[in-house]
Amino acid sequence: MAEKPAVGLNDDAAAAKDAVPVSRTKLAGNPVLRMLGLPNLRLKLPSRNWLIFLSVTGSFTTAVLYDRYHKRKAQQRWCNLVSHIAQEPLPSTAMPRRITIFLSAPPGDSLRAARDHFHEYVKPVLVAGAMDWDVVEGRREGDVRAGLAEKIRKRRRKREKAPMRNVDEDAAEEAKDGAPEEAEEDLVQALRDTAGVKEYEGVQGDLILGRNTWKEYVRGLHEGWLGPFKPPAAESATSIDTPKSVPKQSSFAGDAIPKSNPAADSSAAESDPQTTEASDRQPQDKQDNAEEKEKPKKATQTPPYISPSDYSSAALPLSAPDVLPPSAVLPFPHLLGFFNTPTRIYRFLNRRHIADETGREVAALVLASHVRACTAKAGFASSTDPDASPWSTAPQAADVVPIEKGWEQEGVLEGEERDWHKSAWQVRSGDGERVWKDRMVIDARVGDRMRRFELGADDEERARRDDGVDTAAKGVWDSVKELMGWEEDTSVKGWEHGLVEDDSA
């Protein structure tokens, strides 16, 4: 019988090691989590790649949320400042205040960008103040200029020809000239006058969005008040009295058209059915062509009635008011291009500043409590010859002489031109006017009549006071505590809690 091999101490130790179960903590994890039915989650630091990903995404998300929070807060501050106007009663026989808004497509982009900017930053404050408005939009360069100039010319016609003609005759003539919308507006105004509905007697005002729209607005003001009622004779003659092209007839003898035989033609037409069908279709084709000619063509942009070089020689009409409607110019930063991505990201994370500045200007327009004149600064230059001898006894002229006057309107939002697309500066063949590219020209008679809305110091102080704290002096930690609801009562010291008697008891 074979003997069993002797079991050594080393073999017993190995067997005992295999028989010992794994540590309970490593096998089952935390018993509390096991009883709750939760998985065994081991706490450890994430890897290097996860740390990079979480830090980048978390920082960007925090910056976006922080900017969005303060953007809404800034808009709410200016909405609260003008909200009392919406609570004021309005008589049934009075029209609400109506302002005019001018929007234009930025260089290199469509009109949708301007509309989105208006709906996001401007419209909330206007709605809070119960404002009514008309919009003049421009899809291409010069549309705002043409629309404003035509609006001013229509106003001048009414003021200068009102004693000679009535509203019905004007409406009939405008409808005859192809302006049904203007005729409808005149008829509506006549019905309002009959019903005794009065227009708003206070300040109306204009709102302009962006530097490009501002340049067209200034050009349209000058064209409307200094230009004539009708376009120049040369342009009207070329656009209206254009002779139609007449087909030329050949003068060669071989090209003479032979005379046709009626009998032979009639017999050939009866024998050929295709010829009969073609002759039947001719009247119908002529009728379709006549209908296509009768369709109105798409309206094109009205050419300028006066050039900036003719402002000084033009006469200001007697119907021109002493003060033009005040205006509020809003910033519209719009930057395109792949290489400008870092700048665009920075602006995206700081939209709260645009909301605050835009809301401040719109609130000044809605309140209309402070209106100031546009300033004009005259530069001076020395009239003394620098090369002249100081010991000369010749009489010298005045030390300084005034040079060209600089207007405030020329420098409004001038920094936005650096962000314009390169297409705004390119020279294209056949361009008539380049309002965006040309230098702004201000006539003294129009520039002195222009006004700007301004927010008073008391209104701004009230807006900051109602907001609770000055956002300019508040730090990041204070904003986080306000956002999380960690505001502390600093009126009572920490060691005095429980020692102050409750007065309400």
Report whether pLDDT(148) > 90. Answer: yes
Give Cα separations from 171 to 147, 224, 302 (angstroms).
Answer: 19, 21, 21
Helices 143-161 and 211-226: crossing angle in degrees, nearest 10, is 30
Task: Report the amino acid identity of residue 6.
Answer: A
- pLDDT for 187: 86
Query: For residues 131 and 357, what is the distance between their CA atoms, to the nearest angstrom?
Result: 19
Residue type at 174 in one-letter notation: E
Helix axes 476-484, 48-86, angle to 10 degrees: 80
Structure tokens at 361: 């200007």
Both structure tokens of 257: 């058209």
From CA 199, how far away is CA 455, in angstroms rounded? 25
Mean pLDDT of the region 4-18: 54
pLDDT tens digits, 379-404: 544 445 545 544 555 555 445 555 55
Beta partners for residue 372, in sequence order: 452
pLDDT at 171: 46
Which pLDDT value is given to residue 73? Answer: 93
Q: Where does the pLDDT of residue 175 fall: very low under 50, low under 70, confident under 90, or very high at 90 and above? A: very low
DSSP state of 452: E
pLDDT in tens, 193-230: 888 888 888 888 999 999 999 999 999 999 999 998 88
- Residue where the block lists tokens 């300028």: 304
Provide the whole-model pTM. Answer: 0.69
What's the distance, Cα to Cα, between the start and end of the chain in Å? 102
Q: Which of 378, 388, 385, 367 is nearest to 455 (CA)?
A: 367
- Please name the helix (run of DSSP H) or strand (run of DSSP E) that holds residue 249, with its range, or none: none
Listed in order, strand segments (DSSP E) in 313-364 are 327-330
Q: What angle do CA 128, 214, 347 make, to 5 degrees?
A: 65
Cα(229)–Cα(153) distance, integer angstroms: 6
pLDDT number for residue 460:
87
Distances (CA, A) of 268 to 236, 258, 272, 277: 51, 17, 6, 13
Query: Which element (helix H / strand E) includes 377?
Result: strand 376-382
pLDDT at 415 over 70: yes
- Tens of pLDDT, residue by residue over 434-460, are 899 889 999 999 999 999 999 988 888
In the structure, what pLDDT confidence band is assigned to residue 45 with cuts at 50, 70 and 90?
Answer: confident
Q: Is the pLDDT of residue 463 over 90?
A: no
Among candidate residues 436, 454, 455, 378, the one with its CA nearest the CA of residue 218 = 436
Question: Does the pLDDT value for residue 352 go beyond 90?
Answer: yes
- As given in the structure block, the two tokens for residue 3 are 């003997």
Reply yes or no on whether the pLDDT at 59 is more than 90.
Answer: yes
Distance CA 175, CA 178 (A): 5
CA distances from residue 105 to 135, 303, 386 in whole angstroms, order as listed: 13, 19, 50
Q: Tell me: the pLDDT tens digits for 157-168?
A: 888 764 444 444
Measured CA to CA, the distance from residue 363 to residue 357 in angstroms comes to 10
Ranges 1-5, 250-254, 456-460: which has the least confidence: 250-254
* 137 vs 143: CA distance, rounded Å: 7
Greater model confidence, 33 or 461:
461
Buried b (16+ CB within 10 A) or exposed e, 318-354: eebeeebbbbbbbbbbbebeeeeeeeeeebeeebbeb
Taking CA atoms, 97 is separated from 125, 131, 139, 365, in Å, by: 15, 6, 27, 11
Distance CA 493, CA 475 (A): 23
Give the pLDDT confidence of 95-135 residue by residue, as tens digits: 889 999 999 999 999 999 999 999 999 999 999 999 999 99
Nearest one of 344, 354, 333 to 211, comparing CA atoms: 333
